[in-house]
Amino acid sequence: MNIKTDNEVAMVQIRGLEKRFGKTVALAGVDIDVQPGRIIGLLGANGSGKSTLLRHMVGLYIEDAGQCRTFGSEARNLGPDQLGRIGYVHQDGELLDWMTVAQHIRYVSAYYPNWDKQLEDEFIKDFDIPLKARVGTLSPGKRQQLAILLAIGFGPELLILDEPAAGLDPIARSRFLDLLLSLIQDPNRTIIISSHILSDVEKVIDHAVILREGILLRDCSFDDLREEFCKIRLSSLDGNLPEALGFEAVGPVQRSDKQAVLTIAAQPAQQLNIKAAQLNCGIEVETLSLDEIYRIVVTA
Protein backbone atom coordinates (compact mmCIF):
# COMPACT_ATOMS: atom_id res chain seq x y z
CA MET A 1 0.00 0.00 0.00
CA ASN A 2 1.24 3.44 -0.91
CA ILE A 3 1.20 5.43 2.28
CA LYS A 4 1.47 9.18 1.75
CA THR A 5 3.37 11.24 4.23
CA ASP A 6 1.92 14.46 5.65
CA ASN A 7 4.08 16.54 3.35
CA GLU A 8 2.79 14.87 0.21
CA VAL A 9 -0.85 15.66 0.89
CA ALA A 10 -0.40 19.07 2.46
CA MET A 11 -2.31 21.79 0.61
CA VAL A 12 0.07 24.39 1.93
CA GLN A 13 3.56 23.59 3.07
CA ILE A 14 5.57 26.29 4.78
CA ARG A 15 9.17 25.84 5.83
CA GLY A 16 11.32 28.38 7.64
CA LEU A 17 9.25 31.27 6.33
CA GLU A 18 10.72 34.66 7.17
CA LYS A 19 9.41 38.08 6.32
CA ARG A 20 10.52 41.52 7.42
CA PHE A 21 9.06 44.95 6.81
CA GLY A 22 11.98 47.26 7.39
CA LYS A 23 13.15 46.55 10.92
CA THR A 24 9.95 44.77 11.90
CA VAL A 25 10.07 41.01 11.85
CA ALA A 26 6.65 39.87 10.63
CA LEU A 27 7.44 36.16 10.40
CA ALA A 28 10.45 34.48 11.97
CA GLY A 29 11.02 31.01 10.58
CA VAL A 30 7.49 29.63 10.52
CA ASP A 31 6.88 25.94 9.65
CA ILE A 32 3.32 24.82 8.97
CA ASP A 33 1.60 22.08 6.99
CA VAL A 34 -2.01 22.62 6.07
CA GLN A 35 -3.80 19.33 5.57
CA PRO A 36 -7.06 18.93 3.66
CA GLY A 37 -10.37 18.69 5.44
CA ARG A 38 -9.49 20.93 8.35
CA ILE A 39 -10.78 24.15 9.75
CA ILE A 40 -7.73 25.89 11.07
CA GLY A 41 -7.96 28.79 13.46
CA LEU A 42 -5.08 31.21 13.01
CA LEU A 43 -4.80 33.11 16.26
CA GLY A 44 -2.64 35.96 17.38
CA ALA A 45 -2.66 39.56 18.48
CA ASN A 46 -2.55 42.49 16.06
CA GLY A 47 0.80 42.50 14.32
CA SER A 48 1.54 38.88 15.17
CA GLY A 49 1.94 37.99 11.48
CA LYS A 50 -1.39 36.31 10.73
CA SER A 51 -2.28 38.33 7.64
CA THR A 52 1.31 38.20 6.43
CA LEU A 53 1.25 34.41 6.66
CA LEU A 54 -2.04 34.17 4.78
CA ARG A 55 -0.87 36.56 2.07
CA HIS A 56 2.18 34.38 1.52
CA MET A 57 -0.10 31.40 0.99
CA VAL A 58 -1.88 33.10 -1.91
CA GLY A 59 1.31 34.55 -3.35
CA LEU A 60 0.66 38.22 -2.61
CA TYR A 61 3.84 38.41 -0.57
CA ILE A 62 7.26 37.11 -1.41
CA GLU A 63 9.25 35.51 1.37
CA ASP A 64 12.61 36.88 2.49
CA ALA A 65 13.74 33.39 3.40
CA GLY A 66 12.24 29.92 3.58
CA GLN A 67 9.61 28.46 1.38
CA CYS A 68 5.86 28.60 0.95
CA ARG A 69 4.25 26.06 -1.37
CA THR A 70 0.54 26.00 -2.11
CA PHE A 71 -0.95 23.07 -4.03
CA GLY A 72 2.60 21.91 -4.67
CA SER A 73 3.74 25.13 -6.39
CA GLU A 74 5.78 27.99 -5.07
CA ALA A 75 3.06 30.36 -3.80
CA ARG A 76 4.61 33.28 -5.68
CA ASN A 77 4.20 31.35 -8.95
CA LEU A 78 0.58 30.38 -8.46
CA GLY A 79 -1.28 30.51 -11.75
CA PRO A 80 -4.96 30.70 -12.68
CA ASP A 81 -5.43 26.93 -12.23
CA GLN A 82 -4.24 26.91 -8.63
CA LEU A 83 -5.74 30.28 -7.71
CA GLY A 84 -9.04 29.02 -9.10
CA ARG A 85 -9.02 26.59 -6.18
CA ILE A 86 -8.43 29.24 -3.52
CA GLY A 87 -11.03 31.51 -2.01
CA TYR A 88 -9.64 34.48 -0.11
CA VAL A 89 -11.25 37.16 2.01
CA HIS A 90 -8.73 39.93 2.47
CA GLN A 91 -8.58 41.79 5.78
CA ASP A 92 -9.03 45.18 4.09
CA GLY A 93 -10.89 43.50 1.27
CA GLU A 94 -11.04 45.42 -1.92
CA LEU A 95 -14.31 45.44 -3.80
CA LEU A 96 -15.23 47.43 -6.87
CA ASP A 97 -17.34 50.21 -5.45
CA TRP A 98 -18.82 51.41 -8.70
CA MET A 99 -20.53 48.09 -9.42
CA THR A 100 -23.89 47.05 -8.12
CA VAL A 101 -23.80 43.95 -5.95
CA ALA A 102 -25.36 41.87 -8.73
CA GLN A 103 -22.80 43.17 -11.23
CA HIS A 104 -19.97 42.37 -8.86
CA ILE A 105 -21.15 38.83 -8.37
CA ARG A 106 -21.55 38.38 -12.14
CA TYR A 107 -18.07 39.81 -12.68
CA VAL A 108 -16.23 37.60 -10.22
CA SER A 109 -18.27 34.50 -11.11
CA ALA A 110 -17.24 34.95 -14.76
CA TYR A 111 -13.73 33.83 -13.81
CA TYR A 112 -14.96 30.54 -12.34
CA PRO A 113 -16.67 27.98 -14.58
CA ASN A 114 -17.70 26.00 -11.48
CA TRP A 115 -19.56 28.90 -9.82
CA ASP A 116 -22.33 27.53 -7.59
CA LYS A 117 -25.45 29.51 -8.46
CA GLN A 118 -27.52 27.67 -5.89
CA LEU A 119 -25.12 28.53 -3.11
CA GLU A 120 -25.12 32.13 -4.31
CA ASP A 121 -28.92 32.34 -4.21
CA GLU A 122 -29.09 30.78 -0.75
CA PHE A 123 -26.39 33.07 0.58
CA ILE A 124 -28.11 36.17 -0.80
CA LYS A 125 -31.39 35.06 0.75
CA ASP A 126 -29.90 34.10 4.12
CA PHE A 127 -27.85 37.24 4.50
CA ASP A 128 -30.37 39.53 2.85
CA ILE A 129 -27.85 41.08 0.48
CA PRO A 130 -29.26 43.95 -1.61
CA LEU A 131 -28.44 43.09 -5.21
CA LYS A 132 -29.29 46.46 -6.71
CA ALA A 133 -27.26 48.54 -4.29
CA ARG A 134 -23.90 49.90 -5.32
CA VAL A 135 -21.06 48.18 -3.53
CA GLY A 136 -19.74 51.56 -2.40
CA THR A 137 -22.90 52.17 -0.39
CA LEU A 138 -22.88 48.90 1.52
CA SER A 139 -22.29 48.91 5.26
CA PRO A 140 -19.00 47.29 6.41
CA GLY A 141 -20.94 44.19 7.46
CA LYS A 142 -22.66 43.81 4.09
CA ARG A 143 -19.37 44.38 2.28
CA GLN A 144 -17.84 41.62 4.33
CA GLN A 145 -20.74 39.31 3.53
CA LEU A 146 -20.34 40.04 -0.17
CA ALA A 147 -16.59 39.40 0.05
CA ILE A 148 -17.32 36.06 1.72
CA LEU A 149 -19.81 35.11 -1.00
CA LEU A 150 -17.27 35.96 -3.70
CA ALA A 151 -14.70 33.78 -1.94
CA ILE A 152 -16.89 30.72 -1.44
CA GLY A 153 -19.12 30.88 -4.52
CA PHE A 154 -16.92 28.64 -6.66
CA GLY A 155 -16.45 25.99 -4.00
CA PRO A 156 -12.75 26.53 -3.35
CA GLU A 157 -10.67 23.68 -1.97
CA LEU A 158 -8.76 26.10 0.18
CA LEU A 159 -10.72 28.91 1.76
CA ILE A 160 -8.67 31.60 3.48
CA LEU A 161 -10.59 34.01 5.65
CA ASP A 162 -8.63 36.90 7.11
CA GLU A 163 -10.74 38.43 9.89
CA PRO A 164 -13.98 37.58 8.10
CA ALA A 165 -16.30 38.13 11.04
CA ALA A 166 -14.89 41.46 12.17
CA GLY A 167 -17.60 43.54 10.52
CA LEU A 168 -20.52 41.21 11.18
CA ASP A 169 -23.19 41.64 13.82
CA PRO A 170 -23.81 38.74 16.26
CA ILE A 171 -26.65 37.20 14.20
CA ALA A 172 -24.72 37.45 10.94
CA ARG A 173 -21.69 35.94 12.74
CA SER A 174 -23.76 33.02 13.93
CA ARG A 175 -25.09 32.43 10.39
CA PHE A 176 -21.60 32.73 9.04
CA LEU A 177 -20.32 30.07 11.44
CA ASP A 178 -23.16 27.77 10.39
CA LEU A 179 -22.14 28.38 6.81
CA LEU A 180 -18.54 27.44 7.59
CA LEU A 181 -19.72 24.22 9.20
CA SER A 182 -21.77 23.37 6.12
CA LEU A 183 -18.83 24.18 3.84
CA ILE A 184 -16.53 21.82 5.69
CA GLN A 185 -18.82 18.89 4.89
CA ASP A 186 -16.65 18.46 1.81
CA PRO A 187 -13.76 16.37 3.19
CA ASN A 188 -11.29 17.80 0.70
CA ARG A 189 -11.92 21.38 1.63
CA THR A 190 -9.72 23.27 4.05
CA ILE A 191 -10.62 26.50 5.73
CA ILE A 192 -8.12 28.78 7.41
CA ILE A 193 -9.74 31.42 9.51
CA SER A 194 -7.95 34.22 11.25
CA SER A 195 -9.97 35.99 13.87
CA HIS A 196 -9.87 37.89 17.13
CA ILE A 197 -13.30 36.65 18.15
CA LEU A 198 -12.10 33.46 19.80
CA SER A 199 -15.48 32.49 21.22
CA ASP A 200 -16.74 32.18 17.64
CA VAL A 201 -13.69 30.48 16.27
CA GLU A 202 -13.65 27.75 18.88
CA LYS A 203 -17.07 26.56 17.75
CA VAL A 204 -15.78 25.60 14.34
CA ILE A 205 -12.05 24.94 14.30
CA ASP A 206 -10.43 21.56 14.65
CA HIS A 207 -6.85 22.80 14.43
CA ALA A 208 -5.15 25.80 15.98
CA VAL A 209 -2.16 27.83 14.94
CA ILE A 210 -1.00 30.51 17.36
CA LEU A 211 1.46 33.23 16.42
CA ARG A 212 3.16 35.85 18.54
CA GLU A 213 5.38 38.51 16.97
CA GLY A 214 5.97 36.33 13.95
CA ILE A 215 6.93 33.28 15.98
CA LEU A 216 4.87 30.11 15.77
CA LEU A 217 3.83 29.15 19.30
CA ARG A 218 1.44 26.31 18.53
CA ASP A 219 0.47 24.26 15.52
CA CYS A 220 -1.65 21.41 16.77
CA SER A 221 -5.13 19.95 16.77
CA PHE A 222 -7.62 21.90 18.83
CA ASP A 223 -8.24 18.83 20.98
CA ASP A 224 -4.53 18.58 21.78
CA LEU A 225 -4.49 22.26 22.64
CA ARG A 226 -7.46 21.89 24.95
CA GLU A 227 -5.82 18.99 26.68
CA GLU A 228 -2.68 20.97 27.28
CA PHE A 229 -4.15 22.96 30.16
CA CYS A 230 -6.96 22.57 32.62
CA LYS A 231 -8.55 24.48 35.44
CA ILE A 232 -8.78 22.81 38.87
CA ARG A 233 -10.93 23.80 41.77
CA LEU A 234 -9.55 22.65 45.11
CA SER A 235 -11.90 22.63 48.09
CA SER A 236 -10.56 21.94 51.55
CA LEU A 237 -12.24 18.99 53.20
CA ASP A 238 -11.08 19.96 56.68
CA GLY A 239 -9.94 23.40 57.80
CA ASN A 240 -8.06 25.86 55.61
CA LEU A 241 -6.08 25.09 52.47
CA PRO A 242 -2.35 24.77 53.09
CA GLU A 243 -0.11 27.66 52.01
CA ALA A 244 1.71 25.61 49.36
CA LEU A 245 -0.68 23.76 47.09
CA GLY A 246 1.92 21.78 45.18
CA PHE A 247 0.48 22.66 41.74
CA GLU A 248 2.40 24.85 39.34
CA ALA A 249 -0.07 27.43 38.09
CA VAL A 250 0.33 28.68 34.54
CA GLY A 251 -2.31 31.34 34.84
CA PRO A 252 -3.99 33.50 37.45
CA VAL A 253 -4.78 31.89 40.80
CA GLN A 254 -7.90 32.68 42.81
CA ARG A 255 -7.89 31.45 46.36
CA SER A 256 -9.66 31.89 49.63
CA ASP A 257 -9.11 30.08 52.91
CA LYS A 258 -11.04 27.02 51.86
CA GLN A 259 -11.03 27.13 48.05
CA ALA A 260 -8.58 27.72 45.24
CA VAL A 261 -8.98 27.86 41.49
CA LEU A 262 -5.83 27.30 39.47
CA THR A 263 -4.99 26.91 35.80
CA ILE A 264 -2.31 24.27 35.37
CA ALA A 265 -0.63 22.17 32.69
CA ALA A 266 -2.87 19.16 32.21
CA GLN A 267 -1.96 16.01 34.15
CA PRO A 268 -3.56 12.56 34.33
CA ALA A 269 -6.69 12.52 36.50
CA GLN A 270 -5.20 9.90 38.78
CA GLN A 271 -2.18 12.03 39.51
CA LEU A 272 -4.39 15.03 40.26
CA ASN A 273 -6.53 13.00 42.61
CA ILE A 274 -3.47 11.73 44.50
CA LYS A 275 -2.13 15.28 44.91
CA ALA A 276 -5.54 16.50 46.07
CA ALA A 277 -5.80 13.68 48.57
CA GLN A 278 -2.37 14.61 49.95
CA LEU A 279 -3.68 18.16 50.52
CA ASN A 280 -6.84 16.78 52.05
CA CYS A 281 -8.87 18.51 49.33
CA GLY A 282 -11.61 17.69 46.93
CA ILE A 283 -10.80 18.45 43.28
CA GLU A 284 -12.91 19.37 40.27
CA VAL A 285 -11.31 19.57 36.83
CA GLU A 286 -12.67 21.88 34.11
CA THR A 287 -11.62 22.41 30.53
CA LEU A 288 -10.58 25.89 29.42
CA SER A 289 -12.16 28.04 26.74
CA LEU A 290 -10.04 28.92 23.71
CA ASP A 291 -9.82 32.45 25.01
CA GLU A 292 -8.25 31.26 28.26
CA ILE A 293 -5.90 28.86 26.51
CA TYR A 294 -4.84 31.58 24.10
CA ARG A 295 -4.00 33.94 26.98
CA ILE A 296 -1.86 31.30 28.65
CA VAL A 297 -0.02 30.38 25.46
CA VAL A 298 0.79 33.92 24.38
CA THR A 299 1.78 35.13 27.82
CA ALA A 300 3.90 32.12 28.68
Nearer to other proteins, 112 or 266 (CB): 112
- Considering only residues 20, 33, 71, 100, which one is a binding residue for other proteins as defined by CB under 8 A? 100
Q: Are 222 and 205 in contact (CB under 8 A)?
A: yes
Q: Are strands 73-74 and 24-34 parallel, antiparallel or unpaired?
A: unpaired
166 binds other proteins (CB under 8 A): no
Minimum distance, C-beta of residue 116 to other proteins, in the bound complex (Å): 15
C-alpha span between 111 and 7 (Å, rounded) = 30
- Considering only residues 7, 24, 77, 254, which one is a binding residue for other proteins as defined by CB under 8 A? 77
Minimum distance, C-beta of residue 156 to other proteins, in the bound complex (Å): 10
Q: How is 45-82 classified by DSSP, letter by letter? A: -TTSSHHHHHHHHTTSS--SEEEEEETTEEGGG--HHH
Nearest CA-CA partner of 235 in 256, 250, 251: 256
Site for other proteins in 131-160 (CB under 8 A): 132, 134-137, 150-151
94 binds other proteins (CB under 8 A): yes
108 binds other proteins (CB under 8 A): yes
DSSP structural state of residue 100:
B
Q: What are the C-alpha distances in Å from 63 to residues 60, 66, 181? A: 10, 7, 32
- Considering only residues 18, 66, 67, 76, which one is a binding residue for other proteins as defined by CB under 8 A? 76
C-alpha span between 212 and 223 (Å, rounded) = 21
106 binds other proteins (CB under 8 A): yes
189 binds other proteins (CB under 8 A): no
Minimum distance, C-beta of residue 147 to other proteins, in the bound complex (Å): 9
Q: Where are the alpha helices (DSSP H) in the chain?
A: 6-9, 50-57, 80-83, 101-109, 117-127, 140-152, 170-183, 198-204, 222-226, 269-278, 290-299
The piece of 10-18, 40-48, 105-113, 204-212 that touches other proteins (CB under 8 A) is 105-113
Nearest CA-CA partner of 92 in 34, 144, 29, 24: 144
Element (H, E) at 89: strand 86-89
25 binds other proteins (CB under 8 A): no
- Considering only residues 25, 45, 83, 285, which one is a binding residue for other proteins as defined by CB under 8 A? 83
111 binds other proteins (CB under 8 A): yes
79 binds other proteins (CB under 8 A): yes
Q: What are phi and psi of 147, to 5 degrees?
A: -60, -40
171 binds other proteins (CB under 8 A): no
Nearer to other proteins, 86 or 264 (CB): 86
Using CB under 8 A, list all residues that contact other proteins: 55, 58-62, 76-84, 86-88, 90, 92-100, 102-103, 106-108, 110-113, 132, 134-137, 150-151
